[in-house]
Chain A
Amino acid sequence: MNIKEVEVDTEKEEITIREVLNIAEKKIGKPFLYKMLNKDGEIMRGTIILINGRNILHINKLDSVVHNKDIVSLFPPGGGG
């Protein structure tokens, strides 16, 4: 496991998190979205996707809008105590 930081450049002022994830996957060159999204492309149970610390499930899911300089954090299902 490694920490990956990827900067996503876009000409648009705002794009959806879905677009960000697809660009990031291409840029990293290693598929990871299959671990976070199910066959229907929905967010898998336990997957955590945050925009500036806020879970996108409480914004607009994969259609949540990302602005310039926002920080997106992705975590595959994990747990502990």
Chain B
Amino acid sequence: MGVSIKDNKLLRINLTANKIVVESIDLDLVKKYLGGRGLASKIFVDEVSPDVDPYSEENKLLFANGLLSGTTAPTGGRYMVITKGPLTGTIASSNSGGFFGAELRKAGYLIVLIEGKSDKPVYISIRDDEVEIKDATYLWGKDTHFTTDKMLEEFGDKHARVSCIGPAGENLVKFAAIINDKGRAAGRTGVGAVMGSKKLKGIIVRGTKTIEFDDKAKFMDVVKTKIDILRKDAITGEGLPKLGTKVLDNIINQNGLYPTKNFQFGTFESVDEVSGEALVEKKYLQTNKACFACPIGCGRVVTLPDGSDGEGPEYETGWAFGADCGVKDLVAITKANFMCNQLGLDTISTGSTIASLMELYEKGYVPKEDLNNSTEPKFGSSEAIIYYTKAIAYREGLGDKLAEGSYRFTESYGHPEFSMTVKKQEIPAYDPRGAQGHALEYATSNRGACHVRGYMISPEILGVPEKLETQKLEGKAGWVKTFQDLTAVIDSAGLCLFTSFALGADDYRELINAATGFNLTTEETMQIGERIWNLERIFNLKAGIKPEDDTLPKRFLNDPMPDGPQKGAVVHLDKLLPEYYKVRGWTNDGHVPENKVKELDI
């Protein structure tokens, strides 16, 4: 059975009322917001009050495919989870690859919207048009791998795909992830905790429909051209498939912005022990792996000496448990990664929260008696990263406080300045002092600190599409706006951000137009991104986030980088931010004026 790419459905499941409804999505809304992050955010803000408590019955949770998810468009397998996040209090949109999203699309759904709250653990079973809410009591408390296997067994079709939470989501860890296909994560912003609050353990789906196009030959032709560009590009055709994301350890360290020991330093002396190169030399890396319809294949399949295996670690994860915690033991780092996948935790926030504990402890702000005779959280301790990862997921001992994220944790000891967060979300693996544009991106990201809302490392460090000087301020605000808007388009189209190393706005426009018959210009395509960005911003402001929250921890504004090539650098947010508000067409104090709302027709 075929379904037109323009005939999109929303599957609404009310867990309080046990009610399932299928609704049609207005094509005009798709033209304005595409799908995924954009469209689901629009539906979310239209239905949910900004002051909603993230764990209340009134909060909603949307699993949203991008417009091209499930098609043969290169990397067309991304889905996003949209809700109000418990970690940040902002609109949360967390993105994942693998195969779950594409399967959901082939079952006929662009979006699954979960509302209400179940009083007992449940999971949702989707077999094309057949949708059921099933008992998950026997799965509650179990990890994501056990849960996935059991759900598949009960479903009776090994081609089905599962997205679920682990104990961390059930225990409302504020940075719990949703894990699909066992090793892929909608990792950030605590979407897994919202799922846990609704007592929803997982979703299993099998889809057998095909997506149809008005002019299939034309779409296939454009797809072929774009795959060709990706295959020939030095990064997407060679660098990423061969080396994966972990090639960045040495690159970022050599450039001097590799955050070490909770961002106290910009270089890590033991980088050679934990880098992507080490993963190969120690023979842990088995092969690379691709998500649905992906010609790049950056994923890493790893087996450790004890026989345990899984996906990862990626660059961010390797850094969070490695350099950020001062740990040089690649086995422990990889094990912590596997644990996060099984327990359902965001690796960046988990590692960085443990790093904040290490700094507090070493500086004497956490008394030894608070450890209750458990592992000493010292920088460099392999035991500590393993111990506290588990303690966080189960909220055991000090893990209960750590499960609130590094901001609330360090604040509880009176020292929030040691939390390396923006809007209470942990900063990823690039010290903002080492790249001024990337620093501005962190400060203004709509979901708290994030590197994939406008990846300025690409021009500032990697030289793509062109090399920008890391410490220069001129023009950076404009670059950040363009990157943020384009990323919103890519997310909403359901493609992987890594395609943007080789493709530009014109390429995405061509793919969208060929699939749908829309006649978007490049300007209109970029305006979709800007519309989404402003929609998210307006929600956040109404939710109580203040423009003053567009900032960074004082460490980056006041303390010059102490070491390495970026020695002496601080972030000049006082100069960058006013320029950013100006290029965004916002008021001087960071609000979105009515004329901007009208111009973008939000």
Q: State the A residues within 8 Å of B (CB).
A: 1-3, 35, 44-48, 50, 52-55, 57-58, 73, 75-81
Contact = CB atoms under 8 A, between A and B. Distances in A.
Contacts of A2: 277, 281
B452 to A, nearest CB: 5
Given A53-B564, A78-B235, 20 more contacts: A45-B234, A48-B251, A50-B254, A50-B255, A52-B565, A53-B255, A53-B565, A54-B565, A73-B254, A75-B250, A78-B251, A78-B462, A79-B235, A79-B501, A80-B244, A80-B314, A80-B315, A81-B316, A81-B457, A81-B497
B246 interface: yes
Greatest chain A CB density within 10 A among B462, B466, B497 is at B462
B469 interface: yes
B434 to A, nearest CB: 10
Contacts of B247: 75, 78-80
A80 B469 contact: no
Contacts, number: 102
Smallest CB-CB A-B distances: 4 pairs: A53-B565, A80-B245, A77-B234, A78-B239
A32 to B, nearest CB: 13
Given A77-B239, A81-B497, A46 B277 contact: no
Greatest chain A CB density within 10 A among B239, B245, B256 is at B239
Contact of B467 (A1, A57, A77): A57
B6 interface: no
Nearest to B236: A79
A-side binding surface: helix, strand, loop or mixed? Answer: loop
Contacts of B545: none
B289 interface: no
Nearest to A44: B234
Nearest to A54: B565
B451 A81 contact: yes
Contacts of B243: 1, 78
A79 B465 CA distance: 12
B113 to A, nearest CB: 28
Interface in B528-574: 564-566
Contact of A1 (B240, B242, B464): B242
A47 B277 contact: no
19 contacts: A1-B242, A1-B277, A1-B280, A45-B234, A45-B463, A45-B466, A50-B254, A52-B565, A58-B467, A73-B250, A78-B235, A78-B240, A79-B236, A79-B240, A79-B247, A79-B248, A80-B498, A81-B455, A81-B457
B256 A53 contact: yes
A50 B462 CA distance: 11
Contacts of A57: 463, 467
Contacts of A78: 235, 239-240, 243, 247-248, 251, 462
A56 B314 CA distance: 28
B376 interface: no
A78 B235 CA distance: 5
A33 to B, nearest CB: 14
Given A1-B280, A54-B565, A79 B239 contact: yes
B272 interface: yes
A42 to B, nearest CB: 12
B147 to A, nearest CB: 27
Contact of B246 (A3, A48, A80): A80
B333 interface: no
B285 to A, nearest CB: 10
B309 interface: no
Contacts of A44: 234
Contacts of A35: 234
Greatest chain B CB density within 10 A among A35, A73, A77, A78 is at A78
Contacts of B238: 76-77
Interface in B257-277: 272, 276-277
Contacts of B248: 78-80
Greatest chain B CB density within 10 A among A44, A47, A48 is at A48
Contacts of B281: 2
Contacts of B255: 50, 53, 55
A32 B497 CA distance: 29
Given A80-B240, A80-B314, A47 B501 contact: no
A3 B280 CA distance: 11
A44 B281 CA distance: 27
B470 to A, nearest CB: 8
A75 B276 CA distance: 13
Interface in B291-331: 298, 314-316
Greatest chain A CB density within 10 A among B245, B247, B316 is at B247
B458 interface: yes
Contacts of B451: 81
Nearest to B469: A58
A79 B254 contact: no
Given A1-B280, A81-B451, A55 B467 contact: yes
Contacts of B457: 81
Nearest to A50: B254
A46 B245 contact: no
Contact of A55 (B236, B463, B466): B463
B348 to A, nearest CB: 11
Nearest to B496: A81
B464 A80 contact: no
A27 B244 CA distance: 28
A7 to B, nearest CB: 17
Nearest to B501: A79
Contacts of A46: 234-235, 239, 462-464, 501
A77 B463 CA distance: 9
A3 B272 contact: yes
A38 B565 CA distance: 27
Nearest to B285: A1
B447 to A, nearest CB: 15
A63 to B, nearest CB: 16
